[in-house]
Amino acid sequence: MNQAPQTLLKLLQNGAAKCAGRLGKLSFSTWELDTLSLLPGSRESFAELAPAAGEDHFGTFLSAPGAGFVVIFPPKSGFLIANRFTLAGADPVDALAERESKVLAEVSAIIVNAIAEVLAAAGSQALILSAPQSLRGSQKEIARLAQEKHAAQSKISWTAYARFKTPTFSSHFELLIFLDAKLFGLAQK
């Protein structure tokens, strides 16, 4: 079995810390990295995620050249983060259809950019994220849909899984990162 490349793991830990910091700032709460793992190839089982029969979660998929990202919020933290992030424009935002999905898509773009930043710096290149795409379903359904979207653009070489938790409202969120061989090689240098 391949061992997780330590350079990339450290890089992702650094990015995850920035990601947690950004989410804390925008949601007036405290977040920390709970778990981070890195495995070769794409994933079929998503063993870390809850069973397919779980309640619907809020997912957001974003991509950049060589990388795909999916952020998965459970209903509890998704709802609370959406409320806290939109305090400045609460009434007009409340009138939006699929409010939580739209707010969490914006939130996800902000926090994923923190990870993209460390990957870009390691590869000495600019990584501009795509516009976010919202996904609904169980965690596994969202992960599978995101993986399919990314695999259609690029062959997945490594997949990272990160889980974040907050004591502020006893909840969590999850992030999957799909990397192609070229970006992986650049990030490992």
Which residues of the shown chain bind another protein in the complex (CB under 8 A)? 22, 25-26, 62, 85-86, 88-89, 92-93, 96, 102-103, 105-106, 109-114, 116-117, 120-121, 125-132
Pick between residue 46 and residue 69 the one whose CB is nearest to another protein.
69
Find the shortest distance in angstroms from Cβ 20 to another protein. Answer: 13
Pick between residue 56 and residue 117 the one whose CB is nearest to another protein.
117
Q: For 88, which DSSP code?
A: G
Pick between residue 30 and residue 37 the one whose CB is nearest to another protein.
30
Strand order through the sheet with 158-166: 32-40, 158-166, 171-179, 67-73, 57-64, 133-137
Find the shortest distance in angstroms from Cβ 31 to another protein. Answer: 13
Pick between residue 49 and residue 64 the one whose CB is nearest to another protein.
64
Find the shortest distance in angstroms from Cβ 154 to another protein. Answer: 18
Find the shortest distance in angstroms from Cβ 2 to another protein. Answer: 29
Pick between residue 53 and residue 131 the one whose CB is nearest to another protein.
131
b/e per residue 22-46 (b: at least 16 CB within 10 A): bbbebbebebebeebebeeeebeeb
Find the shortest distance in angstroms from Cβ 17 to another protein. Answer: 15
Find the shortest distance in angstroms from Cβ 161 to another protein. Answer: 22
Closest CA to 83 of 73, 96, 97, 93: 93
| Residues 6 or more apart whose Cβ sits within 8 Å of residue 140 | 46, 49, 50, 51, 52, 54
Residue 35 bridge partners (DSSP): 163
Pick between residue 88 and residue 152 the one whose CB is nearest to another protein.
88
Kind of pairing, strands 133-137 and 57-64? antiparallel
Cβ neighbours, 10 Å, residue 102: 18
